[in-house]
Each structure stands twice: as C-alpha cells, then as structure tokens.
C-alpha cells in the first residue's frame, strides 16, 4: 500500500504543480486517526500517515511532502543507511578486488554518470528511449570493460560478443513485444510517465530488457574470451575451429550455470507481482496473459536468450583473434575468471 501512497503523492504533484519535500522526525503516532506529530524545520506539525503505516516509529527520521498546506509522511529517511551500505561495498571491493576492484568502482561511477546525465535527460526531453539507452550502454561498456580489463584482444572480443548478442536480443524483443501487443503500461512507474507524457513507453520497455541484461552479458563474455585466450597460448598450434570447439566445451558449462541467472534476478524483483497469482481468482491462463505478468516473463526469457547467444558469439570472435597463439598472453593462464 505504501507504493500506492507514493504513487498518489506523485500523481497529485503532477496534477497540482510541484510541492515541497522536507526532512523531519516523528515525535508521536496516532495510527487510528492516520496522523503523526513530526518535528520539521524546528516546528512541531501534524502530518498524514500512509494507509499502511507499518515501519514508522517514534524517533524515526522521515521524508515529508507538503502540498496545499497539508503535510504528508512519505517514507523513512533511508539515505544515511544507503550511504553506509555503499561505503561498505566500496571498501570490500577495494580490499578484495585490489586494483581491478578500484577500477571497477570507477567504471561503475562513470556508468552511472552516463545514465544520469546523458540517457535520462535525453529521454525526458522526448528522445527515443531505445536509441539513447543503446548509445548510453555502448558508452558504459567501453568505459567499464576497457577500464577494468584493459584495451586488448580479449576485451575487444568480449565487447563484440556482447554487442552481437544485444542486437539479436533487440530484434527478438521488437518482434515479440509487438506480436504480443504490449503497450508499455505494465508498472506504476509507466502509468506515471504516461501522465507526464512525451515518452515512448514501448521503446522504454525494450530498452529496459536490453540494458537489464548487459551486466550478466559482459561478465560471461569477458570470461569466455579469457578461456579462449588461455587455450590459444597454452597450445599456439590450435586453429580457429579447434579453438572454438574447445572454448565451447567450457562455454556449455557457462550456459548451464548462467541460464537461470536473469530469470532469478527478474523473479526476485517481481515477487509481489507473482504472489498475486495466489490471491487473484482469475484463471491462471488468463492472469498470465495480462501485460504485467506477460511483460515480466518476456523480459526474463529475452534476457536469458542474450546470455545463451553471447557465449558462442564471443567464443567465435575470440577464436578468430587468438588463433595460432596471436595476441597478448594471459597474465595468469591458470585462472580465467
């Protein structure tokens, strides 16, 4: 219910004009009346609570929203805890990953800057979400992969494998999304964007499918390229076909272990939606036919298809690059992941 409360506040703000967000602290609660006494900007005021007020307690720092003289309790103030969690992640990445961990953090930061300052503003101003998401993703891949792993044949083979898989997934996505008659209105956020206007929601959904798979695609592609690199330098006499065949012997193991990666990732983010399956009286066949469920299933399958395609494509390119022992030798032939 709290998600619906936030949806209501955002919808109200869009309809009435921007309100004001504030930080405060809860002094007293009256769940029966749906109100709380809050300290905000040195004053004590009364604020309306969400319908589901669970999780709020006396002394809790909260985000407040003021509109038309009324004050609403929106959410707990989570930023201090989020910053602490991010700091812990950065520390562990630096300690355990050493130089590559630090470069990975820098690459992640640059990727976020590309998304926030390039992709989002262009889409918000009416640009095609799919075009700018792909351009931004290409920039993110070049930044992160080359920054973390260096500019060499291995990373170039991985990038080409990822781009080939992305283009194939995009073509499949465009076909199936239109064949199934999706509108892009499969979430609360999409409904808000529809009120905002100026955004192609179907292209935005397609962009989400492709961009959501990039992280896993990059991981499996770099690993597969490293496998072929190690094989080529362990036996420089191996030709293109033999390198591809032996590389795919490892690739089959990757496919077997990673085929469910995106399925579980998407399913974990959609557990509330799937729980509706146990509550809704609509027959299962017709419930799964609705766009929210069908869109989640399509995103899972299409993303996983990208993983399946990335393995042979990357192996093919890497075998061509490293045939006959060409290129740089791996720093540690015994460890390719």
**pLDDT tens, residue by residue, 69-89:** 789 888 889 999 999 999 999
228 pLDDT band (50/70/90 cuts)? very high
Q: Is the model more confident about 124 or about 178? A: 178
Is the predicted pLDDT of residue 125 greater than 80, yes or no? no
**From 93-97, 220-224, 332-336, the region with the lowest mean pLDDT:** 332-336
156 pLDDT band (50/70/90 cuts)? very high
Structural domains of the chain, ranges and CATH numbers in brackets = 2-77 (2.40.50.140), 106-325 (no CATH)
Q: Is the model more confident about 95 or about 100? A: 95
pLDDT one-digit tens code per residue, 25-60 = 999 988 888 888 999 988 999 988 887 666 788 899
256 pLDDT band (50/70/90 cuts)? confident
Please calculate the CA angle 83-84-87 and round it to the nearest 5 degrees.
Answer: 85
Residues 6+ apart with CB under 8 A from 138: 163
5 pLDDT band (50/70/90 cuts)? very low
Q: How far apart are CA 32 and CA 27, in angstroms?
A: 16
281 pLDDT band (50/70/90 cuts)? confident
Q: Is the model more confident about 269 or about 56? A: 56
pLDDT one-digit tens code per residue, 190-224 = 666 666 666 777 787 888 777 777 777 888 888 89
- In this prediction, residue 335 carries a pLDDT of 44
Q: How far apart are CA 114 and CA 118, in angstroms?
A: 5
Is the predicted pLDDT of residue 165 greater than 60, yes or no? yes
- In this prediction, residue 333 carries a pLDDT of 43
Percent helix, strand, coil in the chain, to 5, is 65, 10, 20
8 Å CB contact between 41 and 22? yes
Residue 327 Cα distances to 151, 168, 230, 232, 236, angstroms = 12, 28, 11, 9, 11
In terms of phi and psi (left: phi > 0; alpha: psi -120 to 50; beta: otherwise), the region of 294 is alpha
263 pLDDT band (50/70/90 cuts)? low
Average pLDDT over residues 264-286: 71
What number of other Cβ atoms are within 10 A of residue 173's Cβ?
25
- In this prediction, residue 151 carries a pLDDT of 84
Ordered DSSP codes for 163-175:
HHHHHHHHHHHHH
Is the predicted pLDDT of residue 170 greater than 60, yes or no? yes
- 288-309 b/e with 16+ CB inside 10 Å = b? eeebbbbbbebbbbbbbbbbbb
- In this prediction, residue 57 carries a pLDDT of 85
What number of other Cβ atoms are within 10 A of residue 93's Cβ?
17
Q: Which of 228, 55, 216, 105 is nearest to 155 (CA)?
A: 228
- Strand ranges (E), the chain: 20-30, 35-40, 43-48, 61-67, 70-76
* Mean pLDDT, the chain, whole residue set: 80
Residues 6+ apart with CB under 8 A from 328: 152, 153, 154, 229
In terms of phi and psi (left: phi > 0; alpha: psi -120 to 50; beta: otherwise), the region of 247 is alpha
- In this prediction, residue 44 carries a pLDDT of 92
Is the predicted pLDDT of residue 9 greater than 70, yes or no? no
- In this prediction, residue 334 carries a pLDDT of 40
Token pair, residue 202, equals 């179907």
Is the predicted pLDDT of residue 10 greater than 70, yes or no? no
Q: Is the model more confident about 181 or about 264? A: 181
- Percent of the chain whose predicted confidence (pLDDT) is above 90: 18
Is the predicted pLDDT of residue 317 greater than 90, yes or no? yes
- In this prediction, residue 288 carries a pLDDT of 77
- In this prediction, residue 8 carries a pLDDT of 46
- Structure pTM? 0.72
């Amino acid at each position: 219910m709290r998600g619906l409360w936030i949806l209501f506040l955002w919808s109200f703000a869009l309809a009435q004009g921007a309100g004001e967000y504030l930080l405060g602290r809860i002094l007293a609660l009256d769940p029966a009346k749906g109100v709380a006494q809050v300290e905000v900007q040195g004053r004590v005021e009364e604020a309306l609570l969400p319908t589901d007020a669970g999780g709020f307690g006396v002394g809790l720092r909260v985000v407040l929203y003021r509109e038309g003289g009324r004050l609403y309790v929106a959410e707990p103030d989570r930023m201090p805890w989020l910053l602490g969690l991010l700091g812990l992640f950065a520390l562990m990445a630096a300690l355990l990953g050493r130089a590559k961990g630090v470069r990975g953090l820098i690459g992640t930061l640059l990727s976020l800057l590309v998304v926030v300052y390039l992709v989002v503003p262009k889409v918000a101003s009416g640009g095609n979400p799919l075009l700018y998401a792909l351009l931004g993703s290409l920039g993110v891949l070049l930044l992160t992969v080359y920054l973390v792993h260096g500019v060499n044949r291995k990373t170039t083979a991985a990038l080409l494998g990822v781009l080939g898989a992305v283009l194939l997934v995009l073509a499949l996505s465009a076909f199936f999304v239109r064949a199934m008659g999706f509108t892009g209105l499969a979430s609360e956020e999409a409904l808000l964007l529809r009120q905002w206007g100026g955004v192609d929601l179907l292209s935005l959904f397609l962009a989400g499918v492709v961009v959501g798979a990039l992280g896993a695609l990059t991981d499996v592609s770099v690993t597969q390229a490293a496998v072929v690199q190690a094989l080529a330098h362990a036996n420089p006499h191996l030709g293109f076909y033999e390198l591809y065949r032996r590389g795919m012997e490892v690739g089959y193991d990757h496919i077997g272990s990673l085929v469910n990666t995106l399925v579980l990732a998407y399913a974990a983010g959609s557990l509330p939606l799937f729980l509706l399956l146990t509550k809704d009286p609509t027959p299962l066949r017709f419930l799964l036919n609705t766009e929210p469920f069908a869109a989640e299933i399509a995103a899972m399958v299409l993303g996983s298809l990208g993983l399946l395609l990335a393995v042979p494509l990357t192996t093919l390119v890497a075998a061509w690059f490293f045939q006959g022992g060409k290129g740089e030798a791996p720093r540690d032939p015994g460890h390719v992941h």
